[in-house]
């Protein structure tokens, strides 16, 4: 096509490495000034042009929730998804835990999860039915005296935050969940308020809700992003089939591919190093007839190490691409729950991989066997069970160095935003993440703790990576 005249409204500049938070009072709405627009000429392209207020790259739960939130606030949205169907990444490979029991108070992860749970509970009842919200509660399991002591400390910590947490001895745990086996010194931490959803059905329900907005919502499925062009305003994105422009924002929410996209666009290699793929397996199988049904979601206490943070966490680094390609032993921890249909969901594994590897998204027989072996320690009724190959879910979790996601404006690049690095917590953190992104794009109050806003800013994550 010939050069076209495009329009945009004034955008807030977020430049340099100084972290910035959304305004705490809404002085004006970003959608209002569009009546008086400037113009810019796009370079010639033979690809069809698509425009919207916001372009979102990535159709996982983070991208979909952000799209729906912006649509609800009056913005038009164009969503680009590289897969030909939803849930080809981490969203479709998780157990759907919406938990607080394994998180640490006074951290960004806690604040985001708490806000997200509150938002979820206020959702329309029909939507909650579609995503198969279950009030399963949660059980953190200990097998040693040391772990039991740790669960006691966690129970006290949660209670101080207003969350009712009950420490149960081994006998009480097994009375609640007859399928479980724990040694005498074992225990369990029961939190009744924790929830569970179906990741795939959540994504489908969000997409359906977005489509209700008609022409205000555009969806490009099966299109790979080739490049993000930052030379002019507004930001342009070239896909395999289209040239797309977000007049207010381009948001990178592409899971494990976010680091590569940002590094290629900005020329800053740190994004590739800060956002790394972490492969996980989830096994779905029929419950053996002789085994009692699970009523709760459960995981062994050692799983909580993936959500523990301290002042030194920013020093933790992920392996390089070369190290990941050489293979890193998978971390195996027991988790188990039942889906709404009654099938068992068993996990979990974590291992860093090279996203470009041909085997990165393929199931590993050794990892599957290790997950089953670990599960049988807690659920002896599984001994002799088998998992059919088509019931093994594999996903690449977007791990962020430091353990917190990266949410907000990309420093030095007006109109470009990122929401990535949620690892295995995309479903649990997506409502607050979407709210936070919308507050940046539309210049509305964020209504979140200032420390949390600062902690997850891309500028903050980049600064910490330099230390």
**338 DSSP assignment:** E
Query: Does 235 map to a domain?
Result: yes
Same domain for 153 and 232, yes or no, is: no
Mean pLDDT, range 75-103, rounded to an integer:
84
Query: Does 396 map to a domain?
Result: no
CA dihedral 137, 351, 312, 408 (to 10 degrees): -80
Query: Does 354 map to a domain?
Result: no
Same domain for 213 and 186, yes or no, is: no
Same domain for 82 and 21, yes or no, is: yes
Last residue of a domain, one of 149, 178, 193: 193
Exposed/middle/buried for residue 279 (C-beta within 10 Å: 0-12, 13-18, 19+): buried
Distance CA 353, CA 277 (A): 6
Same domain for 66 and 145, yes or no, is: no
Same domain for 204 and 87, yes or no, is: yes
Query: Does 189 map to a domain?
Result: yes
Predicted pLDDT of residue 92 = 62
Query: Does 113 map to a domain?
Result: no
Give the domain extent around 462: 5-93+199-273+403-466
CA dihedral 61, 62, 67, 68 (to 10 degrees): 60
Same domain for 17 and 83, yes or no, is: yes
Distance CA 50, CA 337 (A): 43
**143 DSSP assignment:** -
Last residue of a domain, one of 171, 193, 215: 193
Same domain for 213 and 177, yes or no, is: no
Mean pLDDT of the chain: 85
Predicted pLDDT of residue 8 = 22
| Total-model pTM | 0.87
Per DSSP, which regions of 342-383 are E strands? 344-352
Query: Does 260 map to a domain?
Result: yes
Same domain for 155 and 169, yes or no, is: yes
CATH of the domain at 10: 3.50.50.60
User: Per the structure, how many domains does the chain have?
Assistant: 2
Phi-psi region of 384 (alpha: psi -120 to 50; beta: other; left: phi over 0): left
Same domain for 187 and 211, yes or no, is: no
Residues 175-221: pLDDT tens digits? Answer: 999 999 999 999 999 999 999 999 999 999 999 999 999 999 999 99
Same domain for 266 and 415, yes or no, is: yes
Query: Does 310 map to a domain?
Result: no
Whether residue 56 is predicted with pLDDT greater than 90 in this model: the reply is yes
Query: Does 361 map to a domain?
Result: no
Residues 275-329: pLDDT tens digits? Answer: 988 899 999 999 999 999 999 999 999 866 544 443 334 334 444 444 444 444 6
Q: pLDDT grade, residue 439 (50/70/90)?
A: very high
Distance of CA 380 to the CA centre of its chain: 32
Distance CA 22, CA 15 (A): 14
For 41-45, 256-260, 343-347, 383-387, which range has the lowest pLDDT when averaged over its residues? Answer: 41-45
Last residue of a domain, one of 193, 213, 230: 193
Predicted pLDDT of residue 245 = 98
Length of the chain: 467
Whether residue 341 is predicted with pLDDT greater than 60 in this model: the reply is yes
Same domain for 173 and 207, yes or no, is: no
Q: pLDDT grade, residue 9 (50/70/90)?
A: very low
Same domain for 181 and 208, yes or no, is: no
């Amino acid at each position: 096509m010939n050069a076209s005249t495009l329009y945009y409204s004034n955008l807030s500049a977020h430049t340099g490495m100084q972290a910035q938070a959304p305004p705490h009072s809404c002085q004006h709405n970003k959608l209002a000034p569009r009546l008086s627009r400037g113009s810019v000429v796009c370079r010639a392209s033979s690809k069809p042009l698509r425009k919207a207020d916001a372009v979102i790259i990535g159709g996982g739960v983070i991208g979909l929730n952000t799209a729906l939130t912006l649509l609800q606030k009056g913005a038009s949205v164009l969503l680009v998804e590289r897969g030909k169907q939803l849930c080809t990444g981490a969203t479709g490979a998780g157990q759907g835990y919406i938990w607080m029991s394994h998180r640490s108070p006074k951290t960004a992860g806690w604040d985001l999860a708490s806000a997200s749970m509150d938002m979820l509970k206020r959702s329309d009842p029909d939507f909650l039915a579609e995503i198969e919200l279950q009030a399963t509660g949660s059980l953190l399991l200990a097998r040693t005296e040391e772990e039991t002591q740790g669960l006691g400390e966690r129970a006290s910590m949660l209670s101080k935050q207003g969350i009712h947490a009950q420490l149960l001895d081994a006998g009480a745990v097994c009375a609640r969940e007859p399928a479980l086996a724990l040694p005498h010194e074992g225990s369990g931490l029961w939190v009744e308020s924790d929830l569970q959803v179906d990741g795939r059905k959540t994504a489908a329900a969000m997409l359906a809700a977005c489509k209700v907005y008609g022409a205000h919502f555009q969806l490009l499925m099966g299109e790979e992003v080739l490049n993000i062009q930052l030379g002019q305003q507004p930001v342009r994105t070239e896909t395999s089939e289209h040239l797309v422009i977000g007049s207010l924002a381009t948001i990178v929410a592409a899971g494990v591919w976010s680091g590569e996209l940002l590094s290629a666009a900005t020329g800053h290699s740190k994004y590739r190093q800060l956002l790394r793929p972490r492969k996980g397996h989830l096994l779905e199988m029929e419950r053996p007839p002789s085994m009692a049904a699970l009523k709760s979601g459960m995981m062994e206490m050692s799983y909580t190490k993936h959500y523990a943070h301290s002042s030194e966490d920013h020093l933790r680094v992920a392996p390089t691409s070369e190290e990941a390609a050489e293979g890193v032993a998978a971390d195996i921890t027991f988790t188990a729950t039942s889906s709404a249909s009654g099938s068992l969901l068993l996990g979990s594994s974590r291992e860093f991989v090279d996203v470009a590897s041909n085997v990165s998204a393929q199931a590993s027989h050794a990892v599957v066997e290790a997950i089953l072996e670990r599960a049988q320690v807690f659920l002896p009724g599984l001994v002799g069970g088998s998992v059919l190959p088509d019931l093994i879910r594999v996903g690449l979790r977007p791990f962020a160095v430091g353990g917190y996601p990266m949410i907000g404006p990309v420093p030095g690049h007006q109109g470009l935003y990122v929401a990535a690095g949620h690892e295995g917590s995309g479903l649990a953190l997506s409502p607050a993440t979407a709210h936070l992104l919308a507050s940046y794009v539309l210049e509305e109050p964020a209504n979140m703790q200032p420390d949390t806003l600062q902690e997850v800013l891309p500028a903050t994550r980049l600064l910490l990576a330099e230390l």
